Amino acid sequence: MDREKVHKEYTNGEVTVVWQSGKCVHSAICFHGLPSVFDPRKKPWVTPEGADTKTIVEQVKRCPSGALSYYMNAKST
């Protein structure tokens, strides 16, 4: 991961994970906790298809720096 400040969003259609690189302290909590979604060796490093929405939200809440956040996508109907 580079140190440039980027704001990225990744969605599974239901929840959108937001990552702000400038806040990330590289604590590794996200990819140790949920490696099927958070894997810095991959590009993109977040694959929201890798777990269900509830699991993703719980992991995002454990990010100590606030680099990860999320919002629920608006329902289309």
Residues interacting with ligand SF4, by CB under 6 A?
24-30, 63-65, 67-68
Identify the sign of the CA torsion 32, 46, 56, 3. Answer: positive
**Tell me, what amino acid is at 20?**
Q
Using the minimum distance from each CB to ligand SF4, give the nearer residue, 58 or 75: 58
Give kind and range of the element (H or E) at residue 20. strand 15-20
Report, in Å, the least distance between residue 51 CB and ligand SF4: 15
CB of 58 to ligand SF4, least distance (A): 12
Minimum distance from residue 70 beta carbon to ligand SF4 (Å): 12
Task: Between 37 and 75, name the residue whose CB sits nearer to ligand SF4.
Answer: 37
How would you classify residue 29: left for phi > 0, otherwise alpha for psi between -120 and 50, otherwise beta? alpha
